[in-house]
Structure 1
Amino acid sequence: MRIGAHVDRQDPLAAAAERKAEVVQFFLSDPQAWVDPEERSDAAALKASDVDVFVHAPYRINVATTNNRIRIPSRKLLFTYATGAATVGAKGLIVHGGHVDKPDDIGKGIDNWRKTFVYAQENGGFATPVLIENTAGGDNACARRFDNLARLWDAIGEYNPGFCLDTCHAHAGGENLLGIVDRVKAITGRIDLIHANDSRDAFDSHRDRHDNIGNGQIDPDLIVAVIQAAGAPVVVETPGGAEGQGGDIAFLRDRVG
């Protein structure tokens, strides 16, 4: 089981060494901006490293929305980010499932996801596998509740998307972690990455606030059980820098075995 952390994009390999991480995840540019991935001087070193690399797409991306001023730039930036992620040897590009604004029909958002994969296919395909991540809030979210996730996969499954399961998002989004891996795999057929995060807030709170494992509202045994059942690489997106994340990694490595 390979376990690591989301780290600052400045020097991911040094951050991995600090945390004794076998996996790193990072952004390729400012996650709050509409900017293309930055060219990296350490791209060759990242590709040659024995550390597994994952890239997270910017938070602003929402390919599901019916707002053309957001959806079209989102679609283009996701494609560009996948190309950038390939230059560092990323095994996957994680992107949030997105949402539609009320009172729009979520079916329109799901169809917009399908159009995103069609757009990518028409332009040569995503250079890095896209892993759609479940989200914590929003009644009109495409990947918060699993009934909507099933509708999404019915629409895009033929394009072979990947899936990233976030434990904090599931808990805060109202999906019980007990047996969650089987429920996800019954829909997607796969889990490519686990975001192993505790939650500061209660079940079904709709609040996306991560905490260190054992400090929040989720039973650590449930997080461990999810990891064991999924058999996928693990990334902690928890606070505390190298010390806090290093502690979470050490805990999981000891418990997961």
Structure 2
Amino acid sequence: MRIGAHLHDDGDPIDYAEKLGAEVIQLFVTDPQKWNKPEPHPFTERMLGGAVDIVVHSSYVINVASLNNRIRIPSRNLVAQQAAAAAEIGAFGLVVHGGHVRDGEDPAKGIDNWRKLFERQADRGGFAVPILIENTAGGDFAMARHFDAIGRLWDAVGEFGAGFVLDTCHAWAGGEELATAVERIKAITGRIDLVHLNNSRDEFDSARDRHANLASGTIDPAVLAEVCRTAGAPIVLETPAEGIADDLAYLRDATGHA
């Protein structure tokens, strides 16, 4: 188990990791709220030469499931561009949200669009790093909110080597019991490549994605620690910045991770 956190600013990821004692850092390679193409990262040499594992989170605007060409096509392009940027800094993967179709649209077509993403890129030699699909918190037409939907998505994309990210806040808000989440997801995907370990400010099945620090949310912190122990994957905290040091300390103590 390697434990770390998301980088909340544009500073030096390795410096941030060293201050926290983190073994893995997640970061963006461009403004997550825009469609910008990534630029070379100013701390590339530090990341390539360090002992800290790096993972990249893709931009929030990306929705490869969308049936709207003006969203889906730019999303495909950004996934490829950000995967290439992730490879340049030595990242082990690119996290991409499952996305959604609009109310009244057929979710099966969104799943088809996910498959086409991988098929089209396979013709170009594949992605530069593995694509790690993350479960999401809300939406009746989401590709990866409920675990049965994730099963349908995996039937379409699993053969392309897609990875999976389990976000604990998202699963809780999406109405999935965390006590059995690791076992059930592994039965569906055969893998968990990364855990986003977050408590939730909202109640179970709220469909609201609002992260809380481990000791201050509506999820029992002991349940979160058990997810860490059983997932067999790196752990990244995306909790509020002011409490991350305490969250890391709790996790290390609760899991016996020195």
Fold shared by both chains (TM-score > 0.5): yes
Is 1:5–2:24 an aligned residue pair? no
Cα distance in 2 for partners of 1:51, 1:68 equals 38
Q: Which residue of 1 aligns with 2:237?
A: 236
For 2:56, give the aligned amino acid.
Answer: V
The Cα of 1:240 is off from its aligned counterpart by 2.9
Cα distance in 2 for partners of 1:164, 1:192 equals 6
The answer to which structure, 1 or 2, has the higher relative contact order (CA under 8 A, 6+ apart) is 1
Cα distance in 2 for partners of 1:213, 1:54 equals 21
Is 1:25–2:26 an aligned residue pair? yes
For 2:207, give the aligned amino acid.
Answer: H
Structure-2-length-normalised TM-score: 0.97
Give 3-state SS (helix, strand or coil) of 2:170's partner.
Answer: helix
Structure-1-length-normalised TM-score: 0.98
Q: Which residue of 2 aligns with 1:61?
A: 62
Give 3-state SS (helix, strand or coil) of 2:133's partner.
Answer: strand
Is 1:139–2:140 an aligned residue pair? yes
Correspondences of 1:149-188 after superposition (within 5 Å): 149-188=150-189
Compare 51-60 and 33-42 and name the one that shifted more.
33-42
For 2:30, give the aligned amino acid.
Answer: S
For 1:252, give the aligned amino acid.
Answer: L
Cα distance in 1 for partners of 2:45, 2:118 equals 28
The Cα of 1:13 is off from its aligned counterpart by 1.1
For 1:134-153, what per-residue CA distance to the aligned partner results, in whole angstroms no more than 9, with x for missing partners? 00000000000011100000
The Cα of 1:215 is off from its aligned counterpart by 0.1
Q: Which residue of 2 aligns with 1:255?
A: 254
Cα distance in 2 for partners of 1:170, 1:47 equals 33
The Cα of 1:41 is off from its aligned counterpart by 2.7
Q: Which residue of 2 aligns with 1:89?
A: 90
Q: Which residue of 1 aligns with 2:76?
A: 75
Q: Which residue of 1 aligns with 2:100?
A: 99
Give 3-state SS (helix, strand or coil) of 2:26's partner.
Answer: strand
For 1:229, give the aligned amino acid.
Answer: T
Q: Which residue of 2 aligns with 1:113?
A: 114
Asked if 2 retains the 8 angstrom alpha-carbon contact of 1:20 and 1:246, the reply is no
Cα distance in 1 for partners of 2:20, 2:212 equals 17
For 1:196-241, what per-residue CA distance to the aligned partner results, in whole angstroms no more than 9, with x for missing partners? 0000000000000000001000000110111111111000001134
Identity across matched positions, percent: 57
Unaligned runs of 5+ in 2: none
Cα distance in 2 for partners of 1:97, 1:68 equals 17
Compare 115-124 and 22-31 and name the one that shifted more.
115-124
Aligned CA RMSD, in angstroms, stands at 0.8
Correspondences of 1:217-228 after superposition (within 5 Å): 217-228=218-229
Q: Which residue of 2 aligns with 1:128?
A: 129
Cα distance in 2 for partners of 1:49, 1:130 equals 23
Compare 120-129 and 23-32 and name the one that shifted more.
120-129
Unaligned runs of 5+ in 1: none
